């Protein structure tokens, strides 16, 4: 993690300690597809409508897929979702991108597929307004990423025994379940949130993105996360569901020496030797599991009322004095100036 946030690393480590004491985390990858959503335009609605019907047809899907897939060894078109607004047509291409985050790869494929549509499918009156028409959606808040996913979709879960909740997290199962419901679910609903049903996924995602050479601006959608907590036979069952984690282990900032060393440390550096995409998918699982740790620790600090005290002693720029010792057992639990 690379962060200027006081005690964020200590806090997340505390969450990891609790997860490990409970036997570890499991992750399930439910989707893998980067998206690009160009905008094309026509003079009349009749022609825009014809384009949408063709794109949605079997022939349209096949033609675009063949064109798109011919541009890369790694990009494989999964779906094309279309929408129309007046004479504008938006096409959300979704594709696997091997171990690359994939924006360059997918843009190249989109450009070629649109060229084929224009020159070989009878749409030479089509204007390519923008290869990115914000229907992607990249680096802006958008419900489409929350609902349809973008990049890797991952769910991570851990079960924390009740004695570990007490000894490591200084809280109890029912207090945590209630805090999660009232804050992360109801509180976020009251605020009209889209994808923000968590305490501080953004803190962990951004710190890992910086450390591993990801595109930090993609934290906008990569932090989409809903945290769920339940009392399971007296123990704490916690999960984070994150539909749009955008990561790669090759290309872009991953090639920088320090960031590349971090990927190496995690065992996911570069291209996977036998199954392209496995390294990037593993990195997404690591991000989700780390968010799980961050959620555990911060929510515990909040439930125990330790957050403000921990911040006052650890997170202010003044040199701490002997009298500002951490809250009992806090162990730097807050770790979050904004949450
Ligand atoms: P991005 O598309 O994420 O912006 P790049 O433009 O750097 O990243 O694309 C990744 C480059 O790495 C491409 O040229 C691709 O052919 C190459 N490459 C080699 N091995 C892999 C792999 N396993 N997965 C993805 N890309 C790979």
- CB 102 near ligand 1, within 6 Å: yes
Q: What confidence tens digit (pLDDT) does each residue in 252-264 have?
A: 999 999 999 999 9
pLDDT at residue 338, rounded to an integer:
41
Fold of 38-130: Alpha-Beta Plaits (3.30.70)
Residues 6+ apart with CB under 8 A from 85: none
Instruction: State the catalytic residues.
Output: 5, 139, 215, 311
What whole-number distance in Å separates Cα of residue 279 and Cα of residue 54?
36
What's the 67 CA to ligand 1 centre distance in angstroms?
A: 19
**Which of 74, 55, 48, 57 is CA-nearest to residue 116?**
55
Residue to mutate (ligand 1; options 32, 35, 98; most atoms within 8 A of CB): 98
CB atoms within 10 A of CB 21: 17
- CB 109 near ligand 1, within 6 Å: no
Residue to mutate (ligand 1; options 33, 36, 71, 74; most atoms within 8 A of CB): 74
What whole-number distance in Å separates Cα of residue 332 and Cα of residue 136?
39
Fold of 6-32+151-313: 3.90.770
Helix 201-212 / helix 278-303 crossing angle, nearest 10 deg:
140
| pLDDT over 50 (residue 327) | no
| pLDDT over 80 (residue 135) | yes
Which helix H or strand E contains 240, and what residues bound it? strand 235-245
- CB 5 near ligand 1, within 6 Å: no
- CB 213 near ligand 1, within 6 Å: no
| pLDDT over 70 (residue 16) | yes
* 6-32+151-313 against 38-130: fold identical: no
Q: Which atom of ligand 1 is nearest to the CA of 105?
A: 2
pLDDT at residue 29, rounded to an integer:
98
What's the 136 CA to ligand 1 centre distance in angstroms?
A: 19
| pLDDT over 80 (residue 249) | yes
What's the 54 CA to ligand 1 centre distance in angstroms?
A: 31
pLDDT interval class at 35 (50, 70, 90): very high
Q: What confidence tens digit (pLDDT) does each residue in 42-60 have?
A: 999 999 999 999 999 999 9
Kind of pairing, strands 25-36 and 151-160? Answer: antiparallel
CB 237, CB 176: distance < 8 Å:
no
Who has greater pLDDT, 327 or 1? 1
Structural domain spans, the chain: 6-32+151-313, 38-130
Q: What confidence tens digit (pLDDT) does each residue in 96-112 have?
A: 999 999 999 999 999 99
pLDDT at residue 336, rounded to an integer:
37
What's the 137 CA to ligand 1 centre distance in angstroms?
A: 21
Q: Which atom of ligand 1 is nearest to the CA of 279?
A: 23
What's the 207 CA to ligand 1 centre distance in angstroms?
A: 23
């Amino acid at each position: 993690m690379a962060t200027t946030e006081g005690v964020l690393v200590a806090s997340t480590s505390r969450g990891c300690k609790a997860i490990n004491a409970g036997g570890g985390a499991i992750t399930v990858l439910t989707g893998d597809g980067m998206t690009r959503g160009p905008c094309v335009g026509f003079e009349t609605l009749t022609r825009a409508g014809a384009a949408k019907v063709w794109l949605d047809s079997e022939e349209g899907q096949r033609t675009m897929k063949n064109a798109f897939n011919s541009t890369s060894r790694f990009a494989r078109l999964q779906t094309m979702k279309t929408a129309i607004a007046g004479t504008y047509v938006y096409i959300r291409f979704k594709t696997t991108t091997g171990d690359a985050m994939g924006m360059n790869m997918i843009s190249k494929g989109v450009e070629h597929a649109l060229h084929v549509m224009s020159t070989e499918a009878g749409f030479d009156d089509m204007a390519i307004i923008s290869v990115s028409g914000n229907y992607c959606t990249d680096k802006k808040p958008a419900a489409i990423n929350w609902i349809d996913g973008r990049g890797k979709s991952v769910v991570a879960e851990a079960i924390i025994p009740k004695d570990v909740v007490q000894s490591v997290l200084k809280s109890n199962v029912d207090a945590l379940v209630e805090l999660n419901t009232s804050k992360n679910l109801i509180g976020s609903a009251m605020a009209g949130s889209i994808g923000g049903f968590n305490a501080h996924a953004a803190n962990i995602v951004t710190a890992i993105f910086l450390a591993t050479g990801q595109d930090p601006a993609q934290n906008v959608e990569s932090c989409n996360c809903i945290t769920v907590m339940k009392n399971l036979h007296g123990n704490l069952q916690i999960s984070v569901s994150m539909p749009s984690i955008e990561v790669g282990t090759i290309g872009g900032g991953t090639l920088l020496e320090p960031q590349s060393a971090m990927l190496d440390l995690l065992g996911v550096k570069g291209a996977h030797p036998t199954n392209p995409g496995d390294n990037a998918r593993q990195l997404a699982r690591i991000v989700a599991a780390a968010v799980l740790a961050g959620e555990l620790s911060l929510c515990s600090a909040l439930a125990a009322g330790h957050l403000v005290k921990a911040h006052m002693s650890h997170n202010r720029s003044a040199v701490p004095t002997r009298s500002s010792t951490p809250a009992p057992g806090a162990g730097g639990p807050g770790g979050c100036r904004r949450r």
